[in-house]
Amino acid sequence: MTGLFISFEGIDGAGKSSHIEALAQAFRDAGRSVTLTREPGGTPLAEKLRQLLLHDAMDPLTEALLVFAARRDHMVQVIEPALARAEVVVSDRFTDATFAYQGAGRGFDWNKLQILERMAQTGCALEPDFMREPDLTIWFDLPAAVAAQRLATARVPDRFEAQPQEFFAAVAAGYARRCEEAPQRFARIDAHQPREAVWQQVAQVLQQRGYLQQASGAAA
């Protein structure tokens, strides 16, 4: 059995958190060990960087560097060891969020982000030139106006959630661009549906990819 790396993506309020535990449980039910984690964060150091990123003002390059510093620590300490143990790693956000928020949202140079991506995500797996990416990215696609309505009553906004709706429309376009650049890795979910219908789409992606069948077979 090999490890499996799945990321959840989407603008704030798209509904990711409402389904991530159910996805983890589906894998556990199929006999797999699951590491459920998040970005920015997932390690003591990265959680400290998360606090800075969510609450302190900084220039775009500083923001991009901190995001990747947190990611590198998360990969070295948590993601790679879990994949080496053949676990399923489920991360609430990964690098697509950086392209969407820092790239499309803040306007930071897309090509520079690609350079940072290669630097941060290479050299922590067994093969020295291998760049770690998710095997599957589940993208909760929701219009920015709908996400804003959902969040209006939901929680106190952090530095990103406090951005105007146009920011999130740009972030959503950033996700669409990443999806176009790697269509085989992305599964787009229509998140503008009732919770149960959204979950059915997620479950269908897992079935189509044979992830749960493979796990059941291995556990038997």
Ligand X SMILES: Cc1cn([C@H]2C[C@H](O)[C@@H](COP(=O)(O)OP(=O)(O)O)O2)c(=O)[nH]c1=O
Decide: 8 and 95 in contact? Cβ < 8 Å.
no
Q: Is 16 annotated as a binding residue?
A: yes
Q: How far apart are CA 70 and CA 59, in angstroms?
A: 17
Decide: 8 and 164 in contact? Cβ < 8 Å.
no
Decide: 129 and 79 in contact? Cβ < 8 Å.
no
Q: Which is closer to ligand X, CB of 12 or CB of 80? A: 12
For residue 201, the one-letter residue type is Q
Interface residues for ligand ADP in 137-176 (CB under 6 A)? 150, 154
Q: How far apart are CA 193 and CA 181, in angstroms?
A: 26
Q: Is 17 annotated as a binding residue?
A: yes
Q: How far apart are CA 71 and CA 121, in angstroms?
A: 8
Interface residues for ligand ADP in 191-210 (CB under 6 A)? 194-195, 198
Q: Is 13 annotated as a binding residue?
A: yes
Chain-centroid distance, C-alpha 111: 20
The residue behind tokens 């960087």 is 49
Among 46, 88, 97, 136, which residue sits at the site for ligand X (rule: CB under 6 A)? 97
Instruction: Please work out the total of residues on this chain that contact ligand X, with binding judged by CB under 6 A.
Output: 15
Among 5, 27, 101, 211, which residue sits at the site for ligand X (rule: CB under 6 A)? 101
CB of 115: closest distance to ligand X in angstroms?
A: 15
Q: Is 12 annotated as a binding residue?
A: yes
Helix (H, G, I), strand (E, B) or coil at 11: coil
- Nearest CA-CA partner of 98 in 56, 40, 44: 40
Among 5, 12, 141, 206, which residue sits at the site for ligand ADP (rule: CB under 6 A)? 12
209 binds, among ligand ADP, ligand X, none (CB under 5 to 8 A by kind): none
Based on the shown chain and the rule CB under 6 A, indicate whether residue 96 belongs to the binding site for ligand ADP: no
Peptide bond into 164 cis (omega under 30): no
Interface residues for ligand ADP in 13-72 (CB under 6 A)? 13-18
Decide: 155 and 148 in contact? Cβ < 8 Å.
no
Based on the shown chain and the rule CB under 6 A, indicate whether residue 79 belongs to the binding site for ligand ADP: no
98 binds, among ligand X, ligand ADP, none (CB under 5 to 8 A by kind): ligand X
211 binds, among ligand X, ligand ADP, none (CB under 5 to 8 A by kind): none
Which residues lie near ligand X (CB under 6 A)? 12, 17, 38-40, 67, 92-93, 97-98, 101-102, 158, 160-161
Report the binding-site residues for ATP.
Answer: 10-17
